[in-house]
Structure 1
Amino acid sequence: MKTLTQLAFHNTYSTLPATFGTRVSPQPLDDPFLVSVNPLVCNMLELDPSDAQTPYFIDLFSGNDEHPSFDPIAMKYTGHQFGQYNPDLGDGRGLLLGEVLTSSGNKWDIHLKGSGLTPYSRQGDGRAVLRSSIREYLASAAMAGLGIKTTHALAVLSSCTPVYRERVECGATLIRVAESHLRFGHFEYLFYTHQHAELKQLADYLIQHHFPELNNEQNDELRYAAMFSKIVTLTAKMVADWQAVGFAHGVMNTDNMSMLGLTFDYGPYGFLDDYNPGFICNHSDYSGRYAFNQQPSIALWNLSALGYALTPIISKEHIDAGLSRYQVDLQREYSHNMRSKLGLVKRLKEDTDLFNQLFDLLSGQGADYTLFFRAISNIGKEELLTSTNLFVPLFSRIEPVEQWLQAYKSRLDAEEQNDEARLTLMNQHNPKFILRNYLAQQAIDAAEQGDYTMIEKLLTVLATPFDEHAELDDLAQRPPEWGKHLEISCSS
């Protein structure tokens, strides 16, 4: 393990032309202090977690000191927000500080969110608040624990700097860590400003650092077409994983879409409590554009927008061919995920009907999505029809549940694996713990009073959400009614 000064930096993005961003120094926070550090992310960076407790770490990431290897850049991009193109986007409150190169050859962006004004702040103040920083910190830990590709968060710092939102809040910074911060919007920016040579240069950069296997293709257009196809597949996998675990992103604008299929820019996200396919987690999404059941189609819309931006280097035929992969990839990944959640290894045509009947059952009675799947992950096949009492707390009417369980038991007869293997598979795909909104809010409320215990408890269960953690069982319970109706918006 290393200290901050011992980390190796290899700042590749800063070698790109000035059109890709603007060099800006972070603005200092007043009296900064550490709220929490994620030791798992420290391990990724080969950083000693105890180093986060030092004044140097705190001063460095609060803008009160400088690291000799940092080269802070506010990245420029644009994007479609709620379907409308916005040319005035970019890192308005964030900076790419540098890129850490680990001994295994992995490269990690170190990004500071809440670092102050940049040329892309528009009418904002460039700040983040403790509330939103904690939400992203916990969400990235939750998704990583679930095995879903995501950006990560190293630590949260708070301060005495006042930040004005709906009320006065504490200014904070989030240290985000990611394989890359390249978004669909980076390519849209270069396309709509007619910087086609730079667009090609950015595609080459993406391939060099993240898809090097594509360099075996000598033909430029075929190489870029293969790049686009990989992005389609990665995006389809990400969305399939979201849908299977019951995660709603809330703001699937193209500037929030990662070129590597990472879950990116956590704002008004939400995990399903009661199963509601039309769940809208963003209070500002008045039309329901980004509702839970709209995410698969919105991802395709966003990929089409990216494909259009890539037309200077990829033909329409190759763009269409890449887009045609999306539905196939999405359905394959989602079906695989759902079979795993039900402990099914064989792929049978009638499985779709079984899934749909289950979704109708869950939505019709508003059953808790996570608790249902976790409950069924611990019942042997021969006990399915005699264990309906376990489902009474989740359903108002038990007879339809019994009917579905009978169909499920009959489907299990087609499987060759034994109960032990099936239940092991199910418990590896049905988490006991998810980051429910009310739990995140409880952590925020306590943190604003200087108590970070809830954050640490959540970090523990979210790191290994499939484990029992019996001593923290209260974090796996069905939420209270007030906890299901919290209003979360884009406000940060």
Structure 2
Amino acid sequence: MASFSGITTRQRYLELPDTFYSHVHPTPLRGDVRLVHFNAGLARDMGLPMESPEEWADIGAGRALLEGMIPVAMKYTGHQFGMYNPDLGDGRGLLLWETEGPDGRVRDWHLKGAGQTPYSRFGDGRAVLRSSVREYLCGEAMHYLGIASTRSLFLVSSTEPVRRETIETAAALVRVADTHIRFGHFEYASHHLGPDAVKTLTDHTIHHHFPDLEALPESERYPAFLAEVVRRTARTIADWQGVGFCHGVMNSDNMSIIGDTFDYGPYAFLDDFDARYICNHTDQGGRYAYNRQPEIGFINCQLLAHALTSLIDEDQLRRCMREYETTYNDSFINLMRRKLGLARADDNDLGLVMDTYSMLHEHGIDYTRFFRGLSTLPSQGPAPVRDLFADRGVADEWLRRYHNRLASEDCSPEDREADMCRTNPKYILRNYLAQNVIEASQAGDDQPLAELLKVLKRPYDEQPEFEEYAALPPDWGKHMDISCSS
């Protein structure tokens, strides 16, 4: 372990055999480089020096490494849109090192946009400013919504041209996570390296990321590991559904082994509610539509379970997989009760929830505004809810049913409003807001990015000075075409 300005640094991933990675030096960005944003709050949590954030730009640009950094491109595989791809790996990202913060938490640093690696296939190894801003924003948005997520430490841009659908400019960010190990690592070990490698990877992952399981005998440890991964995955996806988040590319190589929301690409938060909404226009079959995300999470857990068959017998695998449905269902209904302000469970609550979704879908009601309006019924009355409906009678009928359900609750209206406002955000990262920031950053103005991040740090607060960020999106900002291109 090396010392870096009083911070303990590690290289835990390099404890694995070198079949799991390749040593690669970053390819420096060309042209002028600027620091677009430095995440001071995250840096503070990590115990990093913040006196001169601009000094980090050379690391982001791949022009410098700190003493102790040993960059590697991770090798993994995975199922993309349901098809197994053996050629995956970090095609433009490099794991630099890990640092331990003052709280003892160890985090990976992953430089995304670092240039070509042995796993780039036909790619140029670059990230563009557009997609990098989107990832930076969404990691923060999800974190402050209370949803498990990777985050970004800093973001740099350069004048180097990169061709996507059009000519764009290159960028890079340092993504931070407790680990970058994903389901695809286990698929790679299982399909290509054999049972010994699966055991080595699993033991490594348990030791560093599930240490409470180490004391168990192997016959219990590995099933307990899989069951916990399944539960974490189910809880995260329930959280997505509750806040109206669409990931867009739920390939198994984008599934974090610790349950983080991982690898932001063509994501979206729902505007007008559409249960079948597809946020990735590359996904022509709708495999990753909003209403399919819970199912795809289960399928990806099945793929992980298959990769662990050398460690876990068939009966145990089935028991582990049953944890998904139980955990997802419990997490989802409990979250929806909180969103509706229901402290007491009722057998009819699931029917109320599903009927609510059907109503929102049929009438195309803005998801976030509906639940926030519901939260403030005691103080603002029904107008914020009713005004979302072209047919006010539909809203009135639903509100009568809702008030009848509330009659069995003991909580005061004031306390219920406070609780619901802590559950139903007023501010979410709508795609049009991200697009406005991207266009400003592309023009060299990073102030809109900083301001939007300030808003997203307090998604549940009223923030009257930023009321415009809670507005309904303009027509051009609804159902924007977002692709996997980055």
Whether 1:227 and 2:225 are equivalent positions in the alignment is yes
C-alpha contact (below 8 Å) 1:391/1:398 kept by paired residues? no
SS of the equivalent of 1:216 reads coil
Q: 1:240 aligns with which of 238, 259, 262?
A: 238
* 1:23 and 2:61 matched: no
Distance (Å, rounded) in 2 between the aligned partners of 1:140 and 1:354: 32
Q: Does 1:34 align with 2:35?
A: yes
- After superposition, residues 73-84 of structure 1 pair within 5 angstroms as 73-84=72-83
1-structure distance, mates of 2:44, 2:346: 41
1:479 to 453, 460, 473: 473
Q: Is the 8 A contact 2:43 2:153 kept in 1?
A: yes
Q: How does 1:397-436 map to 2 (within 5 A)?
A: 397-436=391-430
CA shift digits 1:311-346 (9 cap, x unpaired) = 011111111111011111001000111011111111
Query: Is the 2:157–2:170 Cα contact (8 Å) retained in structure 1?
Result: yes
- Does the aligned pair in 1 maintain the 2:230–2:323 contact within 8 Å? yes
2:261 counterpart SS class? coil
Deviates more, 1:320-329 or 1:80-89: 320-329
Task: Compute the displacement of 1:4 (Å).
Answer: 6.2
Q: Could you give the per-residue CA deviations for residues 173-218 of structure 1, whole angstroms, max 9, x where no partner exists?
A: 0110000001000000010014221110111111111111111212
Q: Which residue number in structure 2 is paired with residue 460 of structure 1?
A: 454
Trace 1:311-326 onto structure 2 (pairs within 5 A): 311-326=309-324
Amino acid at match of 1:92: G
Output the TM-score relative to the length of structure 1.
0.96
Letter in 2 for 1:255: D
What's the Cα RMSD here? 1.3
Aligned length: 483
Task: In structure 1, give the amino acid aligned to 2:270.
Answer: L
CA contact (8 A) 1:277 1:292 kept: yes
Match of 1:439 among 433, 439, 461: 433
Q: Which secondary structure does the structure 1 equivalent of 2:160 belong to?
A: strand
Q: What is residue 138 of structure 2 aligned with on the other side?
A: 139
Matched, 1:44 2:45: yes
8 Å Cα contact 1:431-1:465 kept in structure 2: yes
Give the Cα separation in 1 of the matches to 2:269 and 2:170: 26
1:346 counterpart residue number: 344
Task: Give the conservation status (yes or no) of the 8 Å contact 2:5–2:49.
Answer: no
1: CA distance between counterparts of 2:42 and 2:117? 27
Runs of 4 or more above 3 Å deviation:
3-6, 48-51
Give the share of equivalent positions with the same residue, in percent.
46
* Partner amino acid, structure 1, of 2:28: P
Question: Following TM superposition, by how much is the alpha carbon of 1:354 offset from its aligned partner in structure 2, in angstroms?
Answer: 1.3
Aligned partners of 1:130 and 1:171 also within 8 Å: yes
2:22 partner letter: T
Question: Would the aligned equivalents of 1:361 and 1:401 in 2 still touch at CA under 8 Å?
Answer: no
Letter in 2 for 1:19: T
Aligned to 1:114: 113
Tell me the residue number matched to 1:93.
92
Partner of 2:390: 396
Shift of 1:44: 2.4
* Aligned pairs (5 A) from 1:324-363: 324-363=322-361
For each residue in 1:105-149, what CA deviation from the matched residue of structure 2 results, as whole angstroms up to 9, or x when unmatched? 110000000000100000000000000000000000000010000
Q: Distance in 2 between matches of 1:442 and 1:480?
A: 12
CA gap 1:472/1:4 in 2 versus in 1, 3 angstroms: farther
Cross-structure match for 2:303 = 305
Task: Output the amino acid matched with 1:216.
Answer: A
SS of 1:355's equivalent in the other structure is: helix
What SS does the aligned partner of 2:273 have? Answer: coil
DSSP-derived class of the 1:9 partner: strand
What amino acid maps onto 2:186 in structure 1? F
Name whichever of 268-277 and 34-43 sits farther off.
34-43
- Where 2:260 maps in the other structure, the secondary structure is coil
- Which deviations, in whole Å up to 9, do the C-alpha atoms of 1:267-307 show, x marking residues without a partner? 00000001110000001000000000000000001100110
- Structure 1 contact 29–64 (Cα < 8 Å) conserved: yes
Name the aligned partner's letter for residue 191 of structure 1. S
Q: TM-score, normalised to structure 2's length? A: 0.97
Q: Which residue number corresponds to residue 250 of structure 1? A: 248
- Runs of 5+ unmatched residues, structure 2: none
User: Aligned AA for 1:428?
Assistant: R
Q: Is contact 1:37-1:49 (8 Å) kept? A: no
Q: Per-residue CA shift, 1:352-389, capped at 9, x if unaligned?
A: 12112211221111110000111111112xx89xx443
Contact in 2 for aligned 1:207/1:215 (Cα 8 Å): yes
Alignment partner, residue 14 of structure 2 = 14
Residue identity opposite 2:248 in structure 1 = G
